[in-house]
Structure 1
Amino acid sequence: MEDTGNEFVTIYGRNLVGELPNFVHRPYLVVTMEDLWPKFESFFDKNLAGVYMVRTLEYEQLCKDLERLPNCKSVIGLGGGQALDVAKFFVWNQPKPLFQVPTAMSVNAAFGHRTAVRFQSKVRYIGWAVPEAVYVDFDVIQGAPKILNRSGVGDIFCYHTALFDWKLSHERGKTEAKWPYDPNLVAKSQRVLDSVLAALDDIRDVTEKGIRTLMNANRYGGAAFHNAGWNPRHIEGCDHFLFYSLEYLTHKPFIHGQPVCLGVYVGSLLQNNKAEEMLDAIHRVGVDIRPEAMGVSWDDVAEAIRKVPWYTKQAGLWYTIYDEVPITEEFIARVRENITAKFGPWQG
């Protein structure tokens, strides 16, 4: 099948943040996080129109904040998924050139067209923004906490469970008419997943090879939703649904890849789909999926697993293994036992 969709222009190098004031449209707005700004403030000059510190992804509050933004001719997204998503949201509502600078490999937000905003804690992907370029600075990425970089595998490992869910739906006659099963898309996502699974040590150690491998994979994944005709089936499934359920129940912020990787393992186990291999990969790359590492409890995770079928129905999400296999207390106990056996008891 012919490929007609494009992925975002992506530039790798060093001192890329320092070069931004030399070419972005002036004056410019920087969208970032409070904990990051002190590290990067010195790179910007008198043409800085203002700095927006991201504190929420709730749609209503973002709309209010939009009205108070300073006048600017371009927007720089500088940070992780939240900062990059909010930068996209602002540009969608007030069109102007966008320059995206991920400070970690934690998510694929830099490479996606839509913004993940919340409507009363329920996630929706809306909007449209294409950056002039995405700048991946090796020094910036390598200076980020390792857990942020390593957790970026979550948005790639989820292809494993998503592809199974899509095939299952196809076999059961539950596939959406607008998203018919497409072996070509399956093969593309599988190739990208395989490339990441082959570079786990480099990704764990955040080498240049690891950065290029994971960011190129996320470059594919970020654009894949749009490039498949707004079809998410080959890139997301039950893996993310557990994350959404956990977020909905706890109202807590997460490092995206941790609950997604948890969702990958739980989904793989439900699917009887190489679950131990995926758990080994998650452990080897250095993503801790124990609840305590995410600031929640095993009771929170257990309730989130139980609630996934309910959450997906009320949120209008698609057919996955959760619609087919009932959740039992024995299954939840098995999840806890296996994760504890792999990572060890929590000592924090």
Structure 2
Amino acid sequence: MPVLTRLIPSPIAVDIRPGALDDLGTVLADQRISQSGRLAVAISGGSGARLRDRIAPALPGASWYEVGGGSLDDAINLADAMKSGRYDAVVGLGGGKIIDCAKFAAARLGLPLVAVATNLAHDGLCSPVATLDNDAGRGSYGVPNPIAVVIDLDVIREAPIRYVRSGIGDAVSNISCVADWELSHRETGEQIDGLAAAMARQAGEAVLRHPGGVGDDGFLQVLAEGLVMTGISMSVAGDSRPASGACHEINHAFDLLHPRRAASHGEQVGIGAAFAMHLRGARDEAVHMAEVLRRHGLPVLPDEIGFSREEFTEVVAFAPETRPGRYTILEHLALSRDQIRDAYADYAKAIGS
């Protein structure tokens, strides 16, 4: 008999709203998450530590672990510290680095992970990937999806606005990423998962088309939901393909070539996505994407994040080397440096440099 359905790996609870943190104890009391109430809570020294006093009374059986950073060593040390605790689940409370460390530690211990995000900087909060600094620079490690996600929009508004802007850039870049995936399907025969592509693209389009701004609950709700859906789309696909294309290659090239000068992930992928849309001939879409990014206060030109046009040319030329085997518009066009310079000049003119 043919298989008529498939199981989609996704959280059993997603709570995104103002005041969600006040009901964290109820979410964690779900018998599928914690039967005994014994929880290991990983927090940062910043936002997580500030929230500890607020939520600790609702988690009397929790043990608290402060994570020093976002490296592989930090994640391994966290897992070692939690090893003897006999916990039901791990809770990652903080930004992306803390949640990624908690994901890795939970996977190492075979425990479910509850992600409690204090900012919306990128789509990693619900993805099956932990991105951690290592001796070679930065690595991506496969981990299970969080079993639950809690995002309090009141807490999100208290975080620096640059984190929301970064999340916008990451979400909007999905549109370019899916276009790259479809290009690879046509040109190389790479298998494409239609459901994963639809989820990622719709998440990006919802953010791109929303008329609200970074201070509106309605817009923050759509952005948070979009980032969660993007993470789930990666689980559906089995890798990062729905949310990683030429724009992310450009981001990685920025990080590798200029590690001390690199901007935020979302700023770099936003620029990369708009430029990639221009490269594939989707000029109107590129202009509209740039207009939306600008409206939200994000850069659309490299000089807006401190890089010259020549440095950007170098970044784009190097970008395909960051993801060997991945096929995007950059690999498809295989532009020379002179061609990249000309394409960038055309892009800058089109969006109004």
Letter in 2 for 1:56: G
Q: CA deviation digits over 1:202-242, x for unaligned, max 9?
A: 2x3332211221111112110111113x1443332111111
Selected match of 1:137 from 126, 141, 152: 152
- In the alignment, which residue of structure 2 is the partner of 1:148? 163
- In the alignment, which residue of structure 1 is the partner of 2:114? 99
Q: CA deviation digits over 1:101-120, x for unaligned, max 9?
A: 11112112221233123441
Q: Contact (CA 8 Å) 1:30, 1:76: kept in 2 or not?
A: yes
- In the alignment, which residue of structure 1 is the partner of 2:75? 62
- In the alignment, which residue of structure 1 is the partner of 2:276? 267
The answer as to 2:117 corresponding to 1:114 is no
Cα 1:20/1:292, change in 2 over 3 Å: farther
Selected match of 2:340 from 328, 331, 342: 331
> Shift in Å at residue 16 of structure 1?
3.8
Cα 1:254/1:20, change in 2 over 3 Å: farther
Report the secondary structure of 2:189's partner residue: coil
- In the alignment, which residue of structure 2 is the partner of 1:78? 93
Cα 1:309/1:61, change in 2 over 3 Å: same
Q: CA deviation digits over 1:304-326, x for unaligned, max 9?
A: 2221122233xxx4111111221
Letter in 1 for 2:80: E
TM-score by length of 2: 0.80
> Shift in Å at residue 68 of structure 1?
3.8
Rounded to whole Å, the distance in 2 between the matches of 1:64 and 1:38 is 19
> Shift in Å at residue 89 of structure 1?
0.7
Q: Contact (CA 8 Å) 1:6, 1:223: kept in 2 or not?
A: yes
Alignment of 1:279-318 (within 5 A): 279-291=290-302, 294=305, 300-313=311-324, 317-318=325-326
Letter in 2 for 1:288: P
Alignment of 1:166-177 (within 5 A): 166-172=181-187, 174-176=188-190
Q: Contact (CA 8 Å) 1:115, 1:128: kept in 2 or not?
A: no
Selected match of 2:67 from 39, 53, 57: 53
- In the alignment, which residue of structure 2 is the partner of 1:213? 222
Q: Greater CA deviation, 47-56 or 190-199?
A: 47-56
Q: Contact (CA 8 Å) 2:67, 2:74: kept in 1 or not?
A: no
- In the alignment, which residue of structure 1 is the partner of 2:143? 127
Q: Contact (CA 8 Å) 2:246, 2:273: kept in 1 or not?
A: yes
Report the secondary structure of 2:132's partner residue: strand
Q: Greater CA deviation, 103-112 or 40-49?
A: 40-49
TM-score by length of 1: 0.81
Q: Contact (CA 8 Å) 1:166, 1:175: kept in 2 or not?
A: no
- In the alignment, which residue of structure 1 is the partner of 2:53? 42
Cα 1:13/1:61, change in 2 over 3 Å: closer
Cα 1:282/1:35, change in 2 over 3 Å: same
Report the secondary structure of 1:272's partner residue: coil
Rounded to whole Å, the distance in 1 between the matches of 2:206 and 2:6 is 20
Rounded to whole Å, the distance in 2 between the matches of 1:284 and 1:28 is 42
Rounded to whole Å, the distance in 2 between the matches of 1:292 and 1:32 is 35
Q: Contact (CA 8 Å) 2:234, 2:240: kept in 1 or not?
A: yes
Selected match of 1:234 from 205, 227, 242: 242
Rounded to whole Å, the distance in 2 between the matches of 1:27 and 1:182 is 38
Give the unaligned 5+ runs of structure 2.
none
Q: CA deviation digits over 1:142-167, x for unaligned, max 9?
A: 11122211221233222221222122
Q: Greater CA deviation, 29-38 or 155-164?
A: 29-38
> Shift in Å at residue 286 of structure 1?
2.3
> Shift in Å at residue 243 of structure 1?
0.9
Give the unaligned 5+ runs of structure 1.
none
Q: Contact (CA 8 Å) 1:157, 1:193: kept in 2 or not?
A: yes
Cα 1:336/1:85, change in 2 over 3 Å: farther
- In the alignment, which residue of structure 2 is the partner of 1:320? 328
Letter in 1 for 2:67: M
Cα 1:70/1:60, change in 2 over 3 Å: closer
Q: CA deviation digits over 1:256-279, x for unaligned, max 9?
A: 211111221222222222322221
Q: CA deviation digits over 1:124-180, x for unaligned, max 9?
A: 23122432x2111121011112221122123322222122212222222x133xxx1
> Shift in Å at residue 21 of structure 1?
5.9
Q: CA deviation digits over 1:67-125, x for unaligned, max 9?
A: 24575424321222111111111111123343221111211222123312344124323
Q: Contact (CA 8 Å) 1:85, 1:115: kept in 2 or not?
A: yes
The answer as to 2:256 corresponding to 1:243 is no
- In the alignment, which residue of structure 2 is the partner of 1:10? 14
Q: Over aligned residues, Cα RMSD in angstroms?
A: 3.2
